[in-house]
Structure 1
Amino acid sequence: MDRRQKLIRDLELNISIIIRRFKKEMSDLFGSDITNHEFLFLHALSKHQPQMISALAKELNVATSFVTVVTDKLIHKGYINRERSEKDRRIVELTLTKEGNTLCKQMEKIKNEFMLKNFEEFTIEELEILLLLISKWRGED
């Protein structure tokens, strides 16, 4: 195996470890009431309300069926509402409930503190380089 292949393999392993650790730590932070996916949906919805399921799926880059499953859970927990649009009754819109909005703000604060702690060892320059490399990997210029 040449050096490039070894580096790519090491990178793959480290990314997997980071993702698993991140998911576990976020799950531990949020507790049993809400999952990381549910938080991501609440957060995305908090930025643009009301929002259609298809728009939320596009924003989060997931299938509409996945959005339906997660939003059903969030509706059952009392964090979001699903209502027909007043402008066009064929359109179903999602909005946060008061409880969902409060929870989203609390979780956002917890997540921000968690992220600051996780990156406290990085200098501004290192963070800029990391962001540049990840953006390049994602295909963004």
Structure 2
Amino acid sequence: MRLKWVVDICMDRRQKLIRDLELNVSTIIRRFKKEMSDLFDNNITNHEFLFLHAVSKHQPQMISALAKELDVATSFVTVVTDKLIHKGYIHRERSQKDRRIVELTLTDEGNKLCKQMEKIKNEFMLKNFEKFTVEELEILNLLILKWRGEE
């Protein structure tokens, strides 16, 4: 009987810790998105920056490859890239090799903005993690990889 009581206490504690973790992760994500949005001065959203950054790494980039890399639906890629095209940061063109394929590339303005935003993001991240030691960052990364199932 005592063993069951101990197990119940442990499960209650585990459930509370999981709920606390859920709340803390939600809070961190919301804060991160808001702070990144403030840093980008509403010129570009966090999603738009992620897309610009992904396209900048592999140009030209197919919409389907971008969707796979960012783990989003191709329809979402289309919506965000339409906004970036409208803002003048991305070109969308048919492939010269296969006209069925649509490729994305950064404009000169998009490339310039991406580099500028990357610098701002890096400074922001360094500032946000300055209170962590290298060892703590290693542990945090290991725990997140374990959570993602990539340990």
Q: Shared fold (TM-score greater than 0.5)?
A: yes
What is the correspondence of 1:43-122 to structure 2 with a 5 Å cutoff?
43-122=53-132
1:10 and 1:32 map into 2 onto residues whose CA distance is 31
Helix, strand or coil at the partner of 2:114: helix
CA distance in 2: counterparts of 1:119 and 1:88, whole angstroms: 45
Moved over 2 A (4+): none
Matched, 1:17 2:27: yes
Between the aligned partners of 2:12 and 2:100, the Cα distance in structure 1 is: 58
Normalising by structure 1, what TM-score? 0.98
The CA deviation string for residues 15-38 of structure 1, in whole angstroms up to 9 with x for no partner, is: 011001000000000012100000
Structure 1, residues 101-127: CA drift from partner, whole Å, max 9, x if none? 000000000000000000000000000
Gaps of 5+ in 2: 1-10
Given candidates 117, 140, 144, the residue that maps to 1:130 is: 140
SS of residue paired to 2:104: strand
Residue 44 of structure 2: SS of its match in structure 1? Answer: coil
SS in 2 for 1:82: strand
1:32 maps to amino acid: N
**Secondary structure in 1 matching 2:91:** strand
The one of 17, 26, 39 aligned to 2:36: 26
Distance in structure 1 (CA, Å) of the matches to 2:150 and 2:136:
19
Separation of aligned partners in 2, 1:32 and 1:22: 14
Does residue 7 (structure 1) correspond to residue 7 (structure 2)? The answer is: no
Question: RMSD of aligned C-alpha atoms?
Answer: 0.7
Matched to 2:55, the amino acid is: L
Q: Which amino acid aligns with 1:14?
A: N
Write the distance in 2 (CA, Å) between the matches of 1:21 and 1:73. 24
Among 136, 140, 150, the alignment partner of 1:140 is 150
- In the alignment, structure 1 residue 39 sits paired with structure 2 residue 36: no
Look at both structures and tell me which one has the larger radius of gyration over its CA atoms: 2
